[in-house]
């Protein structure tokens, strides 16, 4: 018969892992230890102690599907790390910009003044444009 891990045994009989360990400790459920020291339980032993096993209709995904999904996730993580590195670089460059000048009095708006003539805004806009150009190129 096939042998299963404690987690699989708990799932097959509908009990918690703790319950399976209790059964093993009391001697009610026999098990073997593999080379790595992990406990393995024969499915026939599970049926003897707990009755018919619960077979789930949905089969676990194949390893090929898992590998494909893992590859997609790894690629997405790498892309996000690259984006994060770029954003960190932008923040560092923005921190190096001179602080905007604080006016002594609140600015007065007149029909002749143009908000784009303000020095700090122009510096910021130029720096942002340079960063965007560098990022694209």
- Phi/psi for 72 (5° steps) reads -65, -45
Using the Cα atoms of residue 61, residue 64, residue 67 and residue 68 in order, give the sign of their dihedral.
negative
Q: Are 120 and 100 in contact (CB under 8 A)?
A: yes
Q: List per-residue pLDDT tens for the chain, 137 residues long.
A: 688 999 999 999 999 999 999 999 999 999 999 898 899 999 999 999 988 888 764 555 555 566 677 888 888 889 989 899 999 999 999 888 888 777 666 666 655 555 555 556 677 788 888 888 888 76
Q: Which of 90, 80, 4, 1 is nearest to 41 (CA)?
A: 4
pLDDT at 73: 86
pLDDT at 63: 59
At 101, list the tokens: 């000048």
Q: Are 78 and 36 in contact (CB under 8 A)?
A: no
pLDDT at 2: 86
Rounded distance between C-alpha atoms, residue 36 and residue 15, angstroms: 24
pLDDT at 106: 61
pLDDT at 56: 63
- Phi/psi for 9 (5° steps) reads -60, -45
pTM of the model: 0.41
Q: Which of 2, 1, 20, 22 is nearest to 10 (CA)?
A: 20
pLDDT at 30: 92
Q: For the chain, count helices (H), then strands (E).
A: 5, 3
């Amino acid at each position: 018969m096939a042998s299963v891990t404690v987690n699989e045994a708990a799932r097959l009989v509908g009990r918690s892992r703790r319950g399976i360990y209790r059964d093993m400790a009391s001697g009610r459920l026999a098990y073997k230890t593999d080379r790595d020291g992990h406990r393995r339980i024969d499915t026939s032993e599970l049926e003897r102690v707990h009755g018919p096993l619960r077979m789930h209709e949905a089969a676990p995904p194949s390893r090929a599907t898992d590998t494909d999904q893992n590859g997609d996730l790894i690629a997405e993580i790498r892309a996000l790390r690259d984006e994060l590195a770029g954003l960190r670089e932008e923040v560092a460059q923005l921190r190096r910009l001179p602080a905007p000048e604080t006016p002594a009095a609140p600015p007065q708006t007149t029909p002749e003044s143009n908000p784009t003539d303000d020095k700090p805004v122009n510096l910021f806009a130029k720096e942002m444009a340079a960063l965007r150009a560098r990022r694209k190129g």
